Amino acid sequence: MTELSTSVVLVLFGTVFLASAVEMVEALTIVVAVGITKGWRSAFEGVAVALMALAALVAVFGPALSRIPMSSLRIVVGTVLLIFGMQWWRKAILRSIGVKAKHDEDAIFAETVEQLQQSPSGTRDAAAFVMAFKGVFLEGVEVVVTVITLGSSAHRLGVAAAAAGTAVVLVAIVGLVVARQLSNVPENAMKMVVGIMMVAYGTFWIGEGIGLHWPGKDLALFVFALIYGLLTWLVVLSLTPRQPSMAVTS
């Protein structure tokens, strides 16, 4: 088993924290839209049931993963992180160069409100419950995958869970205080960092899993993140369309 240094554990905490915060901002936008439009009772019930379903997922898959031999686990987890991280990374690059529209929390909020206004109101609103449940569960599954994969492969499931928990609580508190969607969060930048870190972890764990000896051991993680980050910067710089020059008129 590779003994991870404190700095790597901190990076693990940071990666899981950022990934969870990004997902929770998305979930919070939907929950706030549901709460404001249809009342908080159905919204909170949807959130509570979604959290229970997510806890059940962790309870089932967490212990199961710990029974898999470490090298096989790292290959599986590395591949999952690689595929998952590449999706985030690609999407963030496409948004940065203007090929894909940036994730718009305001638009999601407006769309959710519009959908809910079409359903009849009542003390218990099924549409509101389902929307809050789906918002939290679907975004939460990504958090669970991040926590389980990163945490178990590094033998730091507790650290990963604590990072996710901190992010969830922090986003929830901020959400309650401002009582609206968090549209000013630099989501694309966060997603870019998380995508790069996930791919760095994926590359590292796949190598470890197949018996590769990385030079500098776990420092290779930082090197990957640095190289991937630098290459991303170059790609974004060269692929971003230049603004057409303004015609000067007299």
One of 10, 55, 56, 83 touching another protein (CB under 8 A): 83
**Alpha-carbon separation of residue 21 from 43, 145, 154, 163, 218 (angstroms):** 20, 14, 21, 10, 25
Per CB under 8 A, which region of 5-13, 41-49, 58-66, 207-215 contacts another protein? Answer: 207-215
Select the residue interacting with another protein from 226, 227, 233, 237 (CB under 8 A): 227
Shortest gap between Cβ of 86 and another protein (angstroms)? 5
- To the nearest whole angstrom, how small is the minimum distance from the Cβ of residue 104 to another protein? 18
| 193 binding another protein? (CB under 8 A) | no
Task: Report the residue number, 99 or 176, with the smaller CB distance to another protein.
Answer: 99
Figure out which of the listed residues 55, 99, 226, 237 binds another protein, where binding follows CB under 8 A: 99
Q: Which is nearer to another protein, 165 or 207 (CB)?
A: 207
User: What is the distance between the alpha carbons of residues 50 and 32, in angstroms, rounded to a whole number?
Assistant: 15
- Give the separation between CA 225 and CA 34, rounded to whole angstroms: 38
CB 121 within 8 A of CB 132: no
Q: Which of 193, 158, 173 is nearest to 62 (CA)?
A: 158
The set of residues, in sequence order, having a beta carbon less than 8 Å from that of 143 and lying 6+ positions away, is 19, 20, 23, 24, 54, 164, 168
Tokens describing residue 174: 């901020």
Stretch that binds another protein, among 27-35, 120-128, 172-180, 206-214 (CB under 8 A): 206-214
Q: Is residue 219 a contact residue for another protein (CB under 8 A)? A: no
Phi and psi based region of residue 90 (left: phi greater than 0; alpha: psi -120 to 50; beta: remaining):
alpha
Residue 223 to residue 201: CA distance in whole angstroms = 11
SS3 165: helix
* Piece in contact with another protein (CB under 8 A), picked from 2-10, 158-166, 174-182, 223-231: 223-231
Q: For residues 17 and 228, which CB has a smaller minimum distance to another protein in the complex?
A: 228
Is 36 one of the binding residues for another protein (CB under 8 A)? no
> Which positions lie near another protein, rule CB under 8 A?
75, 78-80, 82-84, 86-87, 89-90, 93-94, 97, 99-100, 141, 199, 202-203, 206-207, 210-215, 224, 227-228, 231, 235, 239
